[in-house]
Structure 1
Amino acid sequence: MADTLQAQLLCMSRHIRDPQANPPPPGVEARRLAVYRQLFFGNLQSMLAGSFPVLRACLGPEQWRALIEDFYAHHRCQTPLFTELAGELVDYLHARADPPGWVAELAHYEWIETVLLLSDACDPEDETTADVLNDVPMLSGLAIPLAYAWPVSQIGPGRIPPEVPQAPTRVLAYRGADLKVHFSRLAPLAHALLVSLQEQRCSGRDHLAALAQRAGVEETQIEPQGRALLNALRAQGVVIALAG
């Protein structure tokens, strides 16, 4: 009995996911199955539309619906949590090869806002006596340096570049004390410094020395700018300084 019920439920779920590729379960009216499909698919589409408003507007109603239908039919989510559903769509888009590259990157850019809004990261308290160069600056858990091939912060309906620009778009996303997520463009040095803070824990001077070596310049050439940048980001709460 249990095996029969399980088989019926699997048949029904496959049909609801992709009615074109899977036959309906026997003995269930097509009208009832359509109601179930509209219920499940409608809820899914509504939740994702709220997470990706710009992507949805850029694609238009038909392409957006086709995208979500394919996601619904073929992607197998690794989480049962509705709050993580947007991340599943991002994974699905990065795994597909056919959409233009800006689609996956724009989806990721929009998803980051949800990630930061829902984050429960707790940073250590900034030690006011610590110095950003001689002690240890660290990146807040509510800040993420990002880099995209496409200018995701400028893309919108009717504003899609025909090709990838030569220079990448570097962005800082962070949740401020106002509990809102903010995005700001980053210069190459600022992005490289924040990525360095994200990847390793050492003094600010060591971070700048490594960046100077990578760029083939003397540390003294970037140290003043690096110190000013670290202090400015510290004032925003993006960087926290700890006594070394």
Structure 2
Amino acid sequence: MNRPDFQRYQKEFCAHARSPHLNPRPAGVSAKRIGVYAQLLFNNMESTLSGCFPVCKKVLGVRKWNRLVRDFFAGHRCATPLFRQIPEEFLQWLQQTEPVGIPPFVPQLAHYEWAELAVAVADAPMPARWSADGDMLEGKPVLTSALMLLRYDWPVQRISPRFKPIQPLTEPVCLLVFRDAADEVRFMELNTVSAHLVELLQDGSRTGREALMSIAQTLRHPDAEQVVAFGAPILADLKARGAILGIVPL
């Protein structure tokens, strides 16, 4: 069945607005007029994405960045009308399509930058019964629920226009992104033990001592109490930085 004229016009208009160099403009529409719409739409998309991925834009440079945004705008069908969700769709598109001509670290760098937005807008329910103070070894530490524990093969936290790594790391870097009690998004680089400690505490079922004793068992450490003594300052640091909000007392 033939499309009605207005639907055919809409399709041609949108196709040209998304990718003016590949799709002709609808008949009877001046290049100047439709060019205004096409540029406005692209500028809105670019502004939304550059706000979430500023380091990616700086590292790629304006020309490569605009080409990347143009390819996404032209070829991806967004599943949401909400602008704050478009960066996640861009990230998924970037990971799935692996665009030619961009450094191999860019998808992970983009994920790291997107994580800040994801944590900033995440719901953060709290346990019904908890205290801001208390013994984190004997109580169950309460992590902020607006938190992401991330591992990357590239040193994403250090990448900049002056530092563009050529090879991935020999060991993944562990990064904690979280929102503190003042609703500030913060970042921490963790070693393997600290990252494992955070993983064990995330479900809220263990005391600090139980989590550290589990780590001692995993490490097959001959003195579990030494691991507990080593881990106590890590718990204190996580609390001082705002990743741990308090404890659920037993």
TM over 0.5: yes
- The answer to whether residue 247 in structure 2 is matched with residue 241 in structure 1 is yes
The aligned amino acid for 1:173 is: V
| SS across alignment from 1:210 | helix
Q: Match of 2:113?
A: 110
Q: Match of 1:196?
A: 200
Q: Match of 1:29?
A: 30
For 2:8 and 2:203, locate their aligned partners in 1 and report how far apart those are by CA, in whole Å.
48
TM-score by length of 2: 0.85
Please give the residue correspondences for 1:93-132 in structure 2 after superposition, counting only pairs within 5 Å: 93-97=94-98, 98=100, 99-124=102-127, 126-128=130-132, 131-132=135-136
For 2:25 and 2:214, locate their aligned partners in 1 and report how far apart those are by CA, in whole Å.
62
For 2:158 and 2:243, locate their aligned partners in 1 and report how far apart those are by CA, in whole Å.
23
| SS across alignment from 1:162 | coil
The aligned amino acid for 1:151 is: P
Per the alignment, do residues 161 and 2 of structure 1 end up closer, same or farther by CA in structure 2, a change over 3 Å counting?
closer
For residue 174 of structure 1, report the CA deviation from its aligned partner. 2.3
| SS across alignment from 1:101 | coil
For 2:191 and 2:145, locate their aligned partners in 1 and report how far apart those are by CA, in whole Å.
21
For residue 200 of structure 1, report the CA deviation from its aligned partner. 6.3
Q: Is the 8 A contact 1:173 1:184 kept in 2?
A: yes
Structure 2 unaligned spans of 5+: none
| SS across alignment from 1:184 | strand
Q: Match of 2:46?
A: 45
For residue 157 of structure 1, report the CA deviation from its aligned partner. 0.4
TM-score by length of 1: 0.87
- The answer to whether residue 167 in structure 2 is matched with residue 166 in structure 1 is no
Q: Is the 8 A contact 1:138 1:201 kept in 2?
A: no
For residue 206 of structure 1, report the CA deviation from its aligned partner. 3.2
Q: How many residues align?
A: 244
Alpha-carbon displacement from aligned partner over 1:85-122 (angstroms, at most 9, x marks no partner): 22222212221234433101111112222223333424
Please give the residue correspondences for 1:1-244 in structure 2 after superposition, counting only pairs within 5 Å: 3-97=4-98, 98=100, 99-124=102-127, 126-128=130-132, 131-198=135-202, 201-218=205-222, 219-239=224-244, 240-244=246-250
For residue 41 of structure 1, report the CA deviation from its aligned partner. 0.2
For 1:73 and 1:172, locate their aligned partners in 2 and report how far apart those are by CA, in whole Å.
34
For residue 5 of structure 1, report the CA deviation from its aligned partner. 2.5
For 1:129 and 1:113, locate their aligned partners in 2 and report how far apart those are by CA, in whole Å.
27
For 1:103 and 1:190, locate their aligned partners in 2 and report how far apart those are by CA, in whole Å.
26
Higher mean C-alpha displacement, 7-16 vs 146-155: 7-16
For 1:71 and 1:170, locate their aligned partners in 2 and report how far apart those are by CA, in whole Å.
29
Task: Let me know the Cα RMSD of the aligned residues.
Answer: 2.5
For 1:122 and 1:199, locate their aligned partners in 2 and report how far apart those are by CA, in whole Å.
13
For residue 33 of structure 1, report the CA deviation from its aligned partner. 2.0
